[in-house]
Chains A and B, each alone.
Chain A
């Protein structure tokens, strides 16, 4: 544990003071709990992770997320999820996703979607004329 340093920025100041009271400073936080924010840009789109906010409870987190992440661009809906609810694989274990042998038979290389769409569109316009 160490002495708090004086900083110009009041947010950094509070964070620094909180860190002096914690044995494990990397978990110190003065601004309530952290919530991960997900955004749906247009109805029917998948939710995308856009970042995090600090707030005391879920309602406040939604309010804050609107300002942090929906100020620009499109948004029709937001999720906030306590960061503690997220369970993740350790990044150090990224190798569990690698393939030891060639498994490219799982890929959709042979399925030419764009060509099929074009063919169906041509057939549809031929039927109309």
Chain B
């Protein structure tokens, strides 16, 4: 598949799955207001996915519903971080923080993309990302500096999720061509920028290893996924599979 489509699928699939996992908290959040906030964030992420799927539609791919509900796991190009089970509230928030910071770095870079439709979408999404970052950092500061238990559990989530989060920056297949055309900067450059910011933000509260000491969990950008994506898609695509072409 051409590199530009690979990039757009990566962006879209990341957002779709983060939105789906966040929506699994709807009705089950620890307090009503927090439940509502995360459900809104889930809707934001799905809206972002839709914009990226629309860009793919303009390049000849099929319409967004078929892309979201009709593809098998090997046809998804999300990072494995996004397909992991939602875990408990702290794990969800930590994952969202790592992801939202990555998205902020990525969108800032893509707002200057030589591919104008992508630059336009990236610019548009930045204001919602601003709120996602505010939400995540507000929660993490409180849980991270709260009690001994909350700190310990969040530190443990950070330790477990970092290898997957670094995997967000797995090289897009065919990336060299995109870099040469000015469509995106190299993933490694963005990764280093992301980790530097992450460290400066979290270091007062959490312990972080050196980036070179983290073994990234990769494969997602090549369609190689964990078993979690199978069960995720079984749930997410259930209705579409049972009743193809159904309308609400």
Contact = CB atoms under 8 A, between A and B. Distances in A.
Interface residues of B, number: 12
B32 A67 contact: no
B37 A31 contact: no
A40 B13 CA distance: 36
Given A11-B31, A11-B32, A56-B142, A63 B40 contact: no
Contacts of B200: none
Interface in B11-46: 31-34, 36-37, 40
A67 B134 CA distance: 13
Interface in B204-236: none
Interface residues of A, number: 15
A71 interface: yes
Which one of A11, A31, A64 has the greatest number of beta carbons of chain B within 10 Å? A64
B133 to A, nearest CB: 12
Contact of A59 (B31, B37, B138): B138
B142 A60 contact: yes
B138 A53 contact: no
B36 A67 contact: yes
A64 B33 CA distance: 6
Nearest to B38: A67
Given A64-B37, A66-B131, A68-B36, A31 B138 contact: no
Given A66-B131, A67-B40, A55 B33 contact: yes
Interface of B: 31-34, 36-37, 40, 131, 134-135, 138, 142
Instruction: Give 6 closest A-B pairs by Cβ, nearest first.
Output: A64-B33, A67-B37, A67-B36, A67-B40, A31-B31, A53-B33
Interface of A: 11, 31-32, 53-56, 59-60, 63-64, 66-68, 71
